[in-house]
C-alpha cells in the first residue's frame, strides 16, 4: 500500500470514529459495555487488517487468516460500512472500488470463488479444473456471482451513488447471466472440479461433474457457500439469492444502460428460477404436513431437509430480501431449522445454533447466530444472541468461524472477518442504526 492508500485508510478510520462513539454510548446506557467493546474491535479490524489499497488504487480484501479474497466474504465484510456510505464519500468510493475489483475477477473467471491479489499462482493450483494464476480456488458457487450485485445495488439504494455502474459492471452482469443460463442445463457446461485430499466434501463426484440433475428452471451450483460440495445440484437458498439479485439487475440495467433485450432476458431468467423454486423447492414436512423449503433438490425427486450456517442459507431468506420474516412457509422452515430435526443444529452447555459440514460435529457458527438475530422480530431474541456472540469468543473479542457448543475455547479459525462483521451488523440492527 502506497502513501495515497495510507491517506485513504486514515480517512476511513476517522470516518468510523463517530459511529464507534455512538455505539459505545448506547451500549453503556444499557449496561452492555461488552457489546460496544466487541463492536469497536471488529468494526475497526476489517479496515485495519483486511482492506488493502493497491498501488493502482484498487481495493482488495483478505478474508482473514486465509490470504485470499472471496467474492462472498468481501461483500459481507464491507456491507456494514454502508451505514456510513450514505453520507461519507470515502466509504462510497471504497465500496465502489471493491465492486469494480469483484467485477474484474468475475471477468477473469466467473466459476471461481476466491482470488489472489496478483497473478501469483497462490492457492489450490493442484485442483483438477481450469485454474488461473489469479485464482485461489475455483469452486463454483452461485452466491459468488450474487454477492457483488447485492453490494452494488445496496450502495446505490442507500447512498444514491452510481459511478460503479460502468462498462466493467455491465460486462460482469452479462457474464453472470450467461453462466446462470448455461447452468440451468448443467449437462451443457464444461465446468468440473476435483480435489484429491482427505475431505470428500472438497470434490465433486462423477469425474468432477457432480450428482445427476434434471431440468428445473433453477441454476446449478457445484458447491455451497461453505465451500463444501452440494449433495444435490440445485441449492435452494442460492437460487433464492439469484432471484433477488436478478430483480435488482432488471432495475439497474433499465435505469443505467440501453440494453432492453438484456433486461428482458434477466427478467425471464428470474421468473424461470422462481418457478423452479416453487415447483421443486417446496416440500411437505413428513411429521406435520406443513409446507417448507428444502435445502437442495436434484429435479429427479430427491431433496434434503437441513440448513448450513453459511449465507445464503434458508434461515437467511428474509435477510437476503427473498421473503418476509412472517411468511408461513418461511416460519415453518425456520421452526424446522432451529430444532434438532436439522442435522446441523447443535445444542450444548454454552449455546445452541446451526453448524456446518465444513466444521466438526457439535460446532456452531457465529454467522448463523447473527443471521438468526437479523431474521427475528423479537428484540429479546436479538439481545440474547448478542450476549452469546460476545460470550463465546474465548476472550479474543473475535467472532470465530465456529465453536464447540460445550466449550467456547475450542474453535476454528482465529481470525474470520466475515463473522466479525455479521456481529457488527446485528448490533447495528438492534440499536436501529442501520437505516
Looking at residue 3, its pLDDT comes to 66
pTM of the full predicted structure?
A: 0.97
Looking at residue 197, its pLDDT comes to 87
How large is the average pLDDT for residues 240-255?
98
- In tens, the pLDDT along 356-367 reads 999 999 999 999
State the chain's mean pLDDT as an integer: 97
Question: Do 308 and 295 form a contact (C-beta atoms < 8 A)?
Answer: yes
- In tens, the pLDDT along 104-160 reads 999 999 999 999 999 999 999 999 999 999 999 999 999 999 999 999 999 999 999
Distance, CA of 24 to CA of 26 (rounded, Å): 6
- The cell for 259 is 440494453
Q: Looking at domain 3-430, which of 1.50.10.10, 1.10.565.10, 3.30.56.10, 3.40.50.1820 is its CATH number? A: 1.50.10.10
How large is the average pLDDT for residues 236-255?
98
Terminal-residue alpha carbon distance, the chain:
33
- The cell for 329 is 412457509
Distance, CA of 25 to CA of 390 (rounded, Å): 17
Looking at residue 327, its pLDDT comes to 98
Question: Do 303 and 293 form a contact (C-beta atoms < 8 A)?
Answer: no
* DSSP per-residue string spanning 278-325: HHHSEEE-TTT--EEE-SEE-SSS-EE----SSSS-STTHHHHTSS-T
Distance, CA of 26 to CA of 81 (rounded, Å): 19
Question: Do 364 and 354 form a contact (C-beta atoms < 8 A)?
Answer: yes
Looking at residue 333, its pLDDT comes to 98
Task: Indicate if the pLDDT at residue 2 is higher than 80.
Answer: no
Distance, CA of 385 to CA of 224 (rounded, Å): 25
Task: Indicate if the pLDDT at residue 317 is higher than 70.
Answer: yes
Task: Indicate if the pLDDT at residue 6 is higher than 90.
Answer: no
- In tens, the pLDDT along 166-191 reads 999 999 999 999 999 999 999 999 99
Strands 291-293 and 282-284: antiparallel
Looking at residue 7, its pLDDT comes to 86
Distance, CA of 17 to CA of 34 (rounded, Å): 18
Task: Indicate if the pLDDT at residue 1 is higher than 70.
Answer: no
How large is the average pLDDT for residues 389-394?
97
State CA 109 to chain mean position distance.
Answer: 19
Instruction: Return the percentage of the chain with pLDDT > 90, whole number.
Output: 96
Looking at residue 34, its pLDDT comes to 97
State CA 304 to chain mean position distance.
Answer: 21
Distance, CA of 124 to CA of 101 (rounded, Å): 21
Q: What is the CA radius of gyration of the chain?
A: 21
Residue 286 or 375, more confident: 375
Q: Residue 235 is inside which H or E element, if any?
A: strand 234-235
Q: How far is CA 4 from CA 58, 102, 240, 318, in A?
A: 11, 21, 40, 40
pLDDT confidence tier of residue 198, bands split at 50, 70 and 90: confident
Looking at residue 332, its pLDDT comes to 98
Q: How large is the greatest C-alpha to C-alpha distance in the chain, in angstroms?
A: 63
How large is the average pLDDT for residues 341-350?
98
Task: Indicate if the pLDDT at residue 256 is higher than 70.
Answer: yes
Q: Which residues pair with 303 in a beta bridge?
A: 297
Ordered by start, the domain boundaries in the chain are: 3-430
* DSSP per-residue string spanning 317-384: HHHHTSS-TT-HHHHHHHHHHTSTTSTTEEE-SS-EEE--TTS-TTEE-HHHHHHHHHT---HHHHHH
How large is the average pLDDT for residues 394-419?
96
Question: Do 299 and 214 form a contact (C-beta atoms < 8 A)?
Answer: yes
How large is the average pLDDT for residues 52-56?
93
Task: Indicate if the pLDDT at residue 390 is higher than 70.
Answer: yes
Under DSSP, the state recorded for 204 is -
Question: Do 348 and 362 form a contact (C-beta atoms < 8 A)?
Answer: yes
Amino acid at each position: 500500500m502506497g502513501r495515497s492508500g495510507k491517506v485513504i485508510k486514515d480517512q476511513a478510520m476517522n470516518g468510523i470514529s463517530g459511529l464507534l462513539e455512538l455505539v459505545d454510548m448506547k451500549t453503556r446506557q444499557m449496561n452492555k459495555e461488552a457489546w460496544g467493546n466487541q463492536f469497536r474491535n471488529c468494526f475497526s479490524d476489517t479496515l485495519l487488517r483486511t482492506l488493502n489499497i493497491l498501488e493502482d488504487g484498487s481495493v482488495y480484501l483478505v478474508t482473514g487468516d486465509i490470504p485470499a479474497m472471496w467474492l462472498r466474504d468481501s461483500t459481507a465484510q464491507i456491507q456494514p460500512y454502508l451505514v456510513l456510505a450514505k453520507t461519507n464519500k470515502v466509504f462510497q468510493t471504497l465500496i465502489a472500488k471493491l465492486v469494480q475489483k469483484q467485477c474484474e475477477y468475475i471477468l477473469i473467471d466467473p466459476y471461481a470463488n476466491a482470488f489472489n491479489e496478483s497473478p501469483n499462482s497462490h492457492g489450490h493450483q493442484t485442483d483438477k479444473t481450469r485454474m488461473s494464476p489469479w485464482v485461489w480456488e475455483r469452486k463454483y458457487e452461485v452466491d459468488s456471482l450474487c454477492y457483488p450485485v447485492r453490494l452494488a445495488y445496496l450502495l446505490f439504494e442507500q447512498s444514491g451513488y452510481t459511478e460503479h455502474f460502468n462498462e466493467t459492471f455491465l460486462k460482469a452482469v452479462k457474464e453472470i447471466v450467461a453462466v446462470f443460463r448455461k447452468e440451468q442445463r448443467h449437462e451443457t457446461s464444461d465446468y468440473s472440479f476435483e480435489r484429491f485430499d482427505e475431505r470428500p466434501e472438497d470434490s465433486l463426484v462423477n469425474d468432477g461433474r457432480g450428482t445427476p440433475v434434471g431440468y428445473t428452471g433453477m441454476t446449478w451450483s457445484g458447491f455451497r457457500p461453505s465451500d463444501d460440495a452440494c449433495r444435490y445440484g440445485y441449492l435452494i437458498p442460492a437460487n433464492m439469492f439469484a432471484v433477488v439479485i436478478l430483480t435488482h439487475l432488471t432495475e439497474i440495467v433499465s435505469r443505467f444502460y440501453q440494453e432492453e433485450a438484456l433486461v428482458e432476458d434477466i427478467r425471464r431468467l428470474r421468473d424461470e428460477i422462481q418457478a423452479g423454486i416453487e415447483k421443486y423447492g417446496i416440500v411437505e414436512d413428513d411429521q406435520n404436513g406443513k409446507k417448507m423449503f428444502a435445502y437442495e433438490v436434484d429435479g429427479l425427486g430427491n431433496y434434503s431437509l437441513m440448513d448450513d450456517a453459511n449465507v445464503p442459507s434458508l434461515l437467511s431468506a428474509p435477510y437476503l430480501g427473498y421473503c418476509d420474516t412472517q411468511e408461513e412457509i418461511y416460519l415453518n422452515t425456520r421452526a424446522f431449522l432451529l430444532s434438532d430435526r436439522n442435522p446441523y443444529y447443535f445444542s450444548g452447555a454454552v449455546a445452541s445454533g446451526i453448524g456446518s459440514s465444513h466444521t466438526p460435529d457439535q460446532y456452531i457458527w457465529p454467522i448463523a447466530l447473527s443471521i438468526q438475530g437479523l431474521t427475528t422480530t423479537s428484540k429479546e431474541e436479538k439481545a440474547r444472541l448478542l450476549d452469546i456472540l460476545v460470550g463465546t469468543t474465548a476472550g479474543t473479542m473475535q467472532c470465530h468461524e465456529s465453536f464447540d457448543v460445550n466449550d467456547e475455547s475450542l474453535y476454528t479459525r482465529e481470525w474470520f472477518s466475515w463473522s466479525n462483521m455479521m456481529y457488527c451488523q446485528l448490533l447495528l440492527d438492534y440499536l436501529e442504526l442501520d437505516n
